[in-house]
Structure 1
Amino acid sequence: MGLESISISDVITKDVKVIDQEQNIFDTSKVMIDNNIGSVVVIDNNDSKNPVGIITERDIVRIVSTFSLSDLQVPIRKLMSYPLITLSKNASVLDAMKLMYERKIRRVIILDDNTLGGIVTEHDIFKLLMNNKELITTVIASDFPIPQEDLYEDFSRFWFSNSYYK
């Protein structure tokens, strides 16, 4: 069994926290804090719930360090990262890993027929690998599509961040 045969749907978080694009950075930060998460998907409105962007902890640090206090009340749609980088629910874990590597991102929105189906993070993928050690051999194979030095760096960050906080 390889990463190309594992559906991304088996790894995703389906209970994705969202925020309306008209809310502000304070509302967004509260959702993150209340749910102990590192990102929130921005939706167009609470009726259709179409995903239009994402805001991450890193974005918030950047925003807070460069804006004045009055600017922090602007709608999140003006601050979010967009367009969203997405994959279909039919994609594989390997597809997600390659996309994350190519786009230099840590999370991918998963769509189920153009609606929000879930989110997968690099943490979710590394947790899958650590729980299925036979998959690690596929990742360290010489023909793996992501350069080994980049994988080692990601593995190190994952390993130390997870063992340090436990």
Structure 2
Amino acid sequence: MAELESNIGAVLKNKSGKIWSVSPSASVYEAIELMAEKQVGALPVMDGEKLVGIISERDYARKVILKGRSSKETAVVEIMTSGPITITPQHTVAECMRIMTEKRFRHLPVIDNGKLVGMVSIGDLVNWVITEQQQTIRHLEAYISGNAS
């Protein structure tokens, strides 16, 4: 399936291009507030220009709520996933889906030449596949009906 062989660079071009992040010293509350405001499920944790971790809603649920901690008094660095697995814009959609499935991740940071250039979620990848399949169907229907240009 061609849509699975598309690279992540193409997927990122369809996204807004904005990357929201938090610092390791930010409170978990601030991180969750930003996730809610931007409607994302995870944020890269940046120390200056360096990706040092990722914090997700799952981290919050499992490491703050279930442990009875305070989100306003807990720093992101205390619950983030350090040294996250990253991908490059050259990775394919299929490769990323495999990584996410095997590692049970929902988000992957995208690094190009040592710099964070985006984040992809499993939702981004599923939407990409669906959109590409719909385009293929439209092209095939046009071809079959003789309306292909």
Q: TM-score range by the shorter chain?
A: 0.7 to 0.9
Q: Alpha-carbon deviations, 1:96-124, whole Å to 9, x = none?
A: 11211221211111101111011111101
TM-score normalized by structure 1? 0.71
Give me the whole-angstrom Cα distance separating, in 2, the residues matched to 1:135 and 1:77.
Answer: 43
Query: Any unmatched runs of 5+ in structure 2?
Result: 137-149
Aligned-pair CA distance for 1:26: 0.9
1:23 matched residue in structure 2: 26
Which protein has the larger Cα radius of gyration, Structure 1 or Structure 2?
2
Query: Any unmatched runs of 5+ in structure 1?
Result: 137-166
Q: Percent identity?
A: 21
1:33 matched residue in structure 2: 36
RMSD between aligned residues: 2.1
1:65 and 2:44 are equivalent in the alignment: no
Give me the whole-angstrom Cα distance separating, in 2, the residues matched to 1:3 and 1:100.
Answer: 17
1:78 matched residue in structure 2: 78
2:90 maps to amino acid: N
Q: Alpha-carbon deviations, 1:29-81, whole Å to 9, x = none?
A: 1111111111111111xxx3211111111111121221333x74132111101
Q: Spell out structure 1 runs of 4+ moving beyond 2 A.
A: none
1:64–1:72: 8 Å Cα contact kept in structure 2?
no
Give me the whole-angstrom Cα distance separating, in 2, the residues matched to 1:15 and 1:85.
Answer: 20
Give me the whole-angstrom Cα distance separating, in 2, the residues matched to 1:104 and 1:11.
Answer: 20
Aligned residues between the structures = 132
1:83 maps to amino acid: G
TM-score normalized by structure 2? 0.79
